[in-house]
Structure 1
């Protein structure tokens, strides 16, 4: 586990973040160039090593994230901490394209599915029913191929 000072040094290596002191010697780090109301990337970094990173609804972190979209970084190593901070900054600086990307996929038996990129996730639909959701296209494609589907171009 990284110390408070190590975490602080890693976080402060991101020049786009601004440090703001809060109560009980905790620190918040803001991303001022956010495209949304949310600007805090690292929240309540405490001298005991506890702290949170905002990931919103990124599917990659859905198992770890609270209902508020925060992930506890207490036990994160340097690589994981850098990765999650980068993901948070990307998330807060990414404009959402309202036009979905739709791909048709078919099984040997003729079952048709759609792979749709919408709201920052890759969703697999059977007719109008959501079957699965993935954080990356690669994960969705792997799932479809494992289930015996091929892209129909």
Structure 2
């Protein structure tokens, strides 16, 4: 296990991180250039060696419900890799093209299928939300079951 000082030395090699002292001799490191609301990369690094790094959505890391991974037992190479991955994830904004399709039934009634983000497909009847789905396939199945087809 790396000591508090060793972890500090590793973290401080990342010039894009800004050190912030917090209570109980703990230290946070912020990433001010984050493209997201989340700015804290290293959370509550404690003199006993415990601490957390934000890794929500990063494959291969077991995180808590807030998206942090405990780094208490991390080796130097593992900590460096995690910090690189965390910073890269916070500085990268994925662009998602908005997909919009019109679906119509035999009575010429139209519904709009819209994808506004990576995880949500919405069906609108005019301005009214008719349904929300986790995938295009789920939304399309719903529309087909209701007698609609792509226009």
Q: TM-score, normalised by structure 2?
A: 0.64
Counterpart CA distance in 2 for 1:47 and 1:91 is 27
1 or 2, which has the higher helix percentage? 1
Shift of 1:60: 2.5
> In the alignment, which of 64, 67, 82 is matched to residue 66 of structure 1?
64
1:71-112: CA deviations, max 9, x gaps? Answer: 000000000000000111001000112149xxxxxxxxxxxx
Shift of 1:27: 0.1
Q: Which residue of 2 aligns with 1:21?
A: 21
Counterpart CA distance in 2 for 1:45 and 1:66 is 16
Q: How does 1:2-17 map to 2 (within 5 A)?
A: 2-17=2-17
Q: Which residue of 2 aligns with 1:80?
A: 78
Task: Give the CA RMSD over aligned residues.
Answer: 1.8
Equivalences, count: 103
Shift of 1:56: 1.6
1:22-56: CA deviations, max 9, x gaps? Answer: 00000000001011111000000000000000012
Q: Which residue of 2 aligns with 1:43?
A: 43
1 or 2, which has the higher strand percentage? 1
Q: Which residue of 2 aligns with 1:115?
A: none
Shift of 1:11: 0.2
Shift of 1:59: 2.6
Counterpart CA distance in 1 for 2:72 and 2:137 is 40
Q: TM-score, normalised by structure 1?
A: 0.63
| Unaligned 5+ runs, structure 1 | 101-117, 120-126, 130-153
| Unaligned 5+ runs, structure 2 | 99-116, 119-135, 139-151
